[in-house]
Amino acid sequence: MHRYLVMPQSWRSSGRRMAHCVTLVQLSISCDHLIDKDIGSKSDPLCVLLQDVGGGSWAELGRTERVQNCSSPEFSKTLQLEYHFETVQKLRFGIYDIDNKTPELRDDDFLGGAECSLGQIVSSQVLTLPLMLKPGKPAGRGTITVSAQELKDNRVVTMEVEARNLDKKDFLGKSDPFLEFFRQGDGKWHLVYRSEVIKNNLNPTWKRFSVPVQHFCGGDPRTPIQVRCSDYDSDGSHDLIGTFHTSLAQLQAVPAEFECIHPEKQQKKKSYKNSGTICVKICRVETEYSFLDYVMGGCQINFTVGVDFTGSNGDPSSPDSLHYLSPTGVNEYLMALWSVGSVVQDYDSHPGHCGCLPPSPAPSSPLWPHQLCTHHQPCGQVCSPGCTSGDCLGPSGGIGTDRACRSAHTTGLILQGPGLGPAQATSTLSQGSCTGPPGLGSLGGCGKSSILCPRGPSGPQPNPSHSPQC
């Protein structure tokens, strides 16, 4: 199975950043009506978080503190883990009554557990599940409530810088200047940004750039920043033109000018003034919205499938065909549908539908891209790659929806062979009418030329209330 993530050319040319689908979240946990295992007192509960690592194994990610004598605890310690949108992250919460000091849980009483995916938690924001002692056996009236919060400083600093009258460093030409920004931390200077080199220019204007505020200054606008201007040499022996010290707070006072000072020249020449002037034309701090801003703001994700039925896919009766009519009922197309649908289903409040395309018309038809949105069969099952009127194979677990072109974002998946190239398919599909959050494309595919279908930048807005510039 080959995977490609395609961003529309209009986004690339305009410099828009894709929404990040990986971030750090913290889980806050509370329980109600835990069963009592202690004689004469209530239980002393602790929650342990485990993640499915495959092969029937679970890895512990963390534990809360122990709350003494409480049947409805609210744990103050949060549990942190990375959130990956493209992965089904199965989690297990276990509640134990801790009556000893050993880290092992085998000698502690089990008060109940619950399983879910991280996608269910972040899309619900607050998720309450019944606690179970074992499958089919509830732990009394016990419940666990989990809420998620994204951990990040989602601000970026955007700057545009130019220089005037820099020193000439090259013997046969002018300097080839570039800038480096360093943040002070732990007694050291840490590089946070390096600009491009502008050849043979003593009055350069560098390209506008953006750096996360957390990376640029550790989130503190008063953190010392060192800026170095150097003359580029291909052998790596760059010559220092000059340097100065500042902070994000000072850089924001635009237009701001700083003298570029070469320490050795300053010491040797009494008449020395500077080696040029660095001018900050733009310095602004902006909020960069993440993928979770959209999900937690109520964005629903629907799943639409387009299937390529051209002869390039081969004879369906041949095991080499991507839509081989296997005796087991499974082929590469169906595996791709299940793989992507298992991820998307956590983000659709009305799962259980799928979209089937008729075997015609070909992509050359003017109606073809729109059929990805309009030809839906509410069958509640996975459609066979060869289905024409809602013929289906097995339960989907919520692969898609018949609401693809409404307010929800549509994730598009093209299942194709080598007959249609990624560039042609992307160009054609981008004419469709489904929209969604910026940077969120489809997630999987199969075949030698399979692609991921991108979507436009409009649609449900993120939380907080004001929307980003999409």
Domains and CATH numbers, the chain: 20-151 (2.60.40.150), 155-287 (2.60.40.150), 292-453 (no CATH)
As a whole number of angstroms, the distance between CA 14 and CA 469 comes to 11
Tens digit of pLDDT for each residue in 355-383?
Answer: 444 444 444 434 333 333 333 333 333 33
pTM over 0.75: no
Confidence grade of residue 92 (pLDDT, cut at 50, 70, 90): very high
What is the pLDDT of the chain when averaged over all its residues? Answer: 74
* 282-307 CB burial, b ≥16 within 10 A, e <16: ebeeeebbbbbbbbbbebbbbbbbbb
Confidence category of residue 226, pLDDT binned at 50, 70, 90: very high
Across 150-154, 257-261, 438-442, 453-457, the highest mean pLDDT is recorded for 257-261
Ranking 49-53, 56-60, 168-172, 216-220 by mean pLDDT, the lowest is 168-172
434: its two tokens: 């489904």
The answer to whether residue 455 scores a pLDDT higher than 50 is no
Mean pLDDT of 121-133: 93
Distance (Å, whole) CA 91 – CA 315: 42
Q: What pLDDT does 352 receive?
A: 52
Q: What is the pLDDT of residue 231?
A: 95
More confident call, 356 vs 142: 142
Q: Which residue has the higher pLDDT, 134 or 294?
A: 134
| pLDDT tier at 86, thresholds 50, 70, 90 | confident
What is the arithmetic mean of pLDDT over 16-28?
70
Query: pLDDT class for 396, splitting at 50, 70, 90?
Result: very low
Give the mean pLDDT of 18-33: 80
As a whole number, mean pLDDT of residues 120-141 equals 93
What is the average per-residue pLDDT within 68-87? 88
pLDDT at 444 over 90: no
Residue 236 pLDDT > 90: no
Query: At 40, phi and psi to the nearest 5?
Result: 85, 0
Q: Is the pLDDT of residue 254 over 80?
A: yes
- Mean pLDDT within 289-309: 77
For position 427, what pLDDT does the model report?
29
The pLDDT score that the predictor gives to residue 394 is: 31
Look at residues 332, 257, 242 and name the one whose alpha carbon lies nearest to residue 3: 332
Among 335-339, 382-386, 425-429, which is the least confidently predicted range? 425-429
Sequence-separated (6 or more) residues with CB below 8 Å from residue 74 = 30, 67
160: pLDDT strictly greater than 50: yes
% the chain with pLDDT above 70: 69
**How far is the CA of 54 from the CAs of 88, 93, 168, 332, in angstroms?**
11, 17, 61, 21
pLDDT at 415: 55
Confidence of residue 7 (pLDDT cuts 50, 70, 90): very low
Interval 408-436: pLDDT, tens: 455 555 555 544 333 333 323 323 333 33
Residue 150 near residue 297 (C-beta atoms within 8 A): no
Query: What is the C-alpha separation between 358 and 102, in angstroms, rounded?
Result: 62
Q: What is the pLDDT of residues 174-213, one digit of tens each?
A: 999 999 999 998 788 898 999 999 999 999 999 999 988 8
Q: Shortest CA distance to 74 belongs to which of 28, 11, 41?
A: 28
Tokens standing for residue 296: 């937690």
3-state DSSP helix/strand/coil percent for the chain, to nearest 5? 15, 35, 50
Cβ-proximal residues to 176 (8 Å cutoff; 6+ apart), any chain: 170, 197, 198, 199, 200, 201, 231, 232, 233
Q: What is the mean predicted confidence (pLDDT) over 256-272? A: 93
- Rounded average pLDDT over 132-156: 90
Amino acid identity at 371 = Q
Q: Work out the pLDDT band at 351, boundaries 50, 70, 90.
A: low
Q: Which of 16-34 are b and which e, b meaning 16 or more Cβ less than 10 Å from the residue's Cβ?
A: bebbbbebebebbbbbeeb
Give residue 327's pLDDT band: very low, low, confident or very high (50, 70, 90).
confident
